Amino acid sequence: MIYRWMHLRLTGPLLAFGGIAIDHVGPSRDFPSASMLTGLFANALGWRREETERHQALQDRLVFGALIARQGRVLTDSQNVQLKANDRGWTTRGRPDERAGGTYDSPHRRRRDYLADHDCRIVLRLTPEDEPDIGTLARALDQPARPLFIGRKPCLPSVRLFQGWLNAPTPRAAIGALGLSGRALWPATDAEDEDEGSILDLADLRNWRSGLHGGSRRVIEGEIPGGVE
């Protein structure tokens, strides 16, 4: 069966695809997680973070593959700040975010990794058919309810995110239809694809009801040869 796939391009001066954070260290994967894509779409649709059932239902419906068209370099941002009770933070909602805690005597430290000049392509569809449908997601990316960012608020896209439609039977075939070469990731649902790369258990799911990350999915990582852009 042939399906319609959305083609997304995630690129910009800085991107952050997240990863397993330990203590104050926040790494970035080379490929976006299912939870990150869910958050990107939810932000475009104007959903509130408290709408956990909506987020969970959307994440459960995502079927996608990804290809690195240009590998970025890792840029590490080390942050040290003295937090006071009356400090405010910038938000995409148009009003400052006030802190509820007290003043910290010691510096608050964080380390965050970013990908500089990275270019990642996504092929994506939704199953089962429901609302929002894939056309609604495409329109929301072109006319988002709020400003969009890729992973973290400083990571603004430098091109249109929605790049058009592809027709293909599987995620691997949809990636091939891009006409690009590079390292790719796609769901391990077709036994014929298993010879094309390494099978991994990827921990990139979020339990939106609890607010915690947990759960993994079986994927294949491999090289897509040839291709002309």
Number of domains in the chain: 1
Q: What is the pLDDT of residue 196?
A: 80
Residue 52 falls inside a structural domain: yes
b/e 185-195 (16+ beta carbons within 10 angstroms → b): bbbbeeeebee
Q: For the whole model, what pTM was predicted?
A: 0.85
Q: What is the mean pLDDT of the chain?
A: 88
Residue 160 falls inside a structural domain: yes
State the CATH number of the domain containing residue 142: 3.30.70.2660
> pLDDT grade, residue 78 (50/70/90)?
confident
DSSP state of 24: T
Residue 103 falls inside a structural domain: no
Q: What's the whole-number mean pLDDT along residues 150-175?
A: 95
Residue 142 falls inside a structural domain: yes
Residue 96 falls inside a structural domain: no
Give the chain's count of helices (H) and strands (E).
4, 13
Structural domain containing residue 41: 3-74+116-224
Which one is predicted more confidently, 196 or 63? 63
* Nearest-angstrom CA–CA distance, 20 and 23: 10
Q: Which two tokens stand for residue 97?
A: 């975010």
Residue 98 falls inside a structural domain: no
Residue 83 falls inside a structural domain: no
Q: Is the peptide bond before 144 cis (omega within 30 degrees of 0)?
A: no
Residues 205, 213 contacting (CB under 8 angstroms)? yes
- Dihedral, CA atoms, 168, 169, 171, 172, nearest 10 degrees? -90
pLDDT at residue 227 above 60? no
pLDDT at residue 228 above 60? no
* Nearest-angstrom CA–CA distance, 5 and 62: 11
Residue 100 falls inside a structural domain: no
Which segment of 82-86, 121-125, 168-172 scores lowest on mean pLDDT? 82-86
Q: What's the whole-number mean pLDDT along residues 127-138?
A: 95
What pLDDT, in 10s, does the model give residues 79-114? 777 767 677 666 655 666 665 666 666 666 778 889
Residue 142: partners with Cβ closer than 8 Å, 6 or more residues away: 160, 162
pLDDT at residue 171 above 90? yes
